[in-house]
Amino acid sequence: MQPQAYLDLENQYGAHNYKPLDVILTRGQGVWVWDVNGKKYLDCLAAYSAVNQGHCHPKIMAAMIEQAKRLTLTSRAFRNDQLGPFYQEICELTHSHKVLPMNSGAEAVETVIKAVRKWSYQVKGIPADQAEIIVCANNFHGRTITIVGFSTDPTARSGFGPFTPGFKVVPFGDAAALEAAITPNTAGFLVEPIQGEAGVIIPPAGYLKAAREICDRHHVVLILDEIQTGLGRTGRLLAEAHEDIEADLTLVGKALSGGFYPVSAVLSNKAVLDVLQPGEHGSTFGGNPLACAIARTAMRVLTEEKMIENAAEMGDYFLAGLKQIQSPSIKEVRGRGLMIAMELVPEAGGARAFCYRLADKGMLCKETHENTIRFAPPLVITKDEVTWALEQIDAVMRG
Ligand SMILES: Cc1ncc(COP(=O)(O)O)c(C=O)c1O
């Protein structure tokens, strides 16, 4: 089939809820992907950080195939022999006490909202149906009605109301605004440690530490959405480690499966998850044996193969290299670990055109909003590969 035929099929039969680059991929290995014409690209998006371990990691693949041959789905009506070991391993890895497995990131967010609301009524004593959760401007937590209801991005929310009440929005990075927004009915504060979809927005140093302290003082649950920042992306297992804090509840997803399968989880350091009783929450696929077997290996290779350390080292090298590039089109370069963004000046004509020029040179990047290009390759990238990437970016930015 010719490339255009794939585009035509998508356009004719698919909903147009994405605007992908017109590159049709058919194969991936490590940091590399190949299109249907055989052209090779360095994947600098890593499926929005779901492929931290690299495409088609052989050990994760082997675990998936082995488990798929034995047992894939039991539902939670019965127990399975992968769930308990998965619980133990993820709790040991992240120093959590309890875990609730789901599938997509958005489901983990929905789950945490339910759990925190119930906790706030049962434990904190907020009057029924009065719980408030504070979120940040420019957040991205997923696409359900409740979640887009507390988004501040008009594209994400326009036309989808009415929305779920009970959320308050404060500016990101402003600890004083958080404290000012807290009332006796505040149950939780939900925040991304670094705002990924907003364009890799890093809050001022000390913000998360201040948020931790404010939440403690007001008996408010601190919920960190580490679905994108987590599992090594920023050079630490969880981004909370950069400020030496621990959230009460942490959300992980994406790279929890190394890109093989949708697996997400709510991790709890407090008794919040204990408020959920049988029948109050669940998902047919959540915690299935195939997901658990994949996630167990995806977590194992992350640490065994020192991918987190590599993310820290390669991230520093990548960022330093980007900062050397001289171009009037560049407004700012910022990042932590391998979560990096280059923001262009508005006069540069938009990030998408640059993404196409990078694709011509063999690098796949995606714009976020109008003017920002994100660089977030799999964490297995080598120094030679980063050097090569920097050469391509330099050529495009100067060109
Ligand atoms: C911080 C954050 N939370 C939640 C989500 C939603 O995850 P999913 O697309 O798996 O529902 C994303 C996805 O990009 C994300 O970056």
Ligand 1 contacts CB of residue 228 (under 6 A):
yes
Q: Which residues are part of the catalytic machinery?
A: 140, 225, 254
Q: Which atom of ligand 1 lies nearest, measured to the CA of 226?
A: 1
Q: How confident is the model at residue 382 (pLDDT cuts 50, 70, 90)?
A: very high
| Residue 254 CA, ligand 1 centroid: distance in Å | 8
Strand partners, 135: 169
* Domains located in the chain, CATH noted: 3-53+306-398 (3.90.1150.10), 58-304 (3.40.640.10)
Pull the structure tokens for residue 38: 């055989």
Q: How confident is the model at residue 20 (pLDDT cuts 50, 70, 90)?
A: very high
Q: Give the residue, by CA position, lying nearest to ligand 1 atom 7.
A: 105
- Distance, in Å, from the CA atom of 266 to the CA atom of 189, rounded to the nearest integer, reads 15
Per-residue model confidence (pLDDT) at position 270:
74
Per-residue model confidence (pLDDT) at position 39:
98
Span 83-98, mean pLDDT? 98
Ligand 1 contacts CB of residue 141 (under 6 A):
yes
Say if residue 269's pLDDT is above 90. Answer: no
Q: Average pLDDT, whole number, for the chain?
A: 97
Per-residue model confidence (pLDDT) at position 21:
95
Do the Cβ atoms of 373 and 342 come closer than 8 Å?
Answer: yes
Q: HSE-up of 187 (CA within 13 Å, CB side)?
A: 25
- Distance, in Å, from the CA atom of 364 to the CA atom of 389, rounded to the nearest integer, reads 10
| Residue 140 CA, ligand 1 centroid: distance in Å | 7
Per-residue model confidence (pLDDT) at position 271:
82
Say if residue 215's pLDDT is above 90. Answer: yes
Q: How confident is the model at residue 313 (pLDDT cuts 50, 70, 90)?
A: very high
Find, among 222, 219, 221, 224, the residue nearest to 237 by Cα. 224
What are the tens digits of pLDDT across the range 113-172? 999 999 999 999 999 999 999 999 999 999 999 999 999 999 999 999 999 999 999 999
Span 261-288, mean pLDDT? 95
Q: How confident is the model at residue 357 (pLDDT cuts 50, 70, 90)?
A: very high
Q: Which atom of ligand 1 lies nearest, measured to the CA of 109?
A: 4
Pull the structure tokens for residue 280: 């109050």
Coil vs helix vs strand at 144: coil
Find, among 200, 202, 240, 203, the residue nearest to 224 by Cα. 240
Ligand 1 contacts CB of residue 106 (under 6 A):
yes
Q: Give the residue, by CA position, lying nearest to ligand 1 atom 2.
A: 141
Q: Give the residue, by CA position, lying nearest to ligand 1 atom 3.
A: 141
User: Could you give the percent of the chain with pLDDT greater than 70?
Assistant: 100
- Distance, in Å, from the CA atom of 108 to the CA atom of 250, rounded to the nearest integer, reads 9
- Distance, in Å, from the CA atom of 234 to the CA atom of 24, rounded to the nearest integer, reads 28
What are the tens digits of pLDDT across the range 167-185? 999 999 999 999 999 999 9
Per-residue model confidence (pLDDT) at position 355:
97
Q: Give the residue carrying structure tokens 């297992």.
A: 237
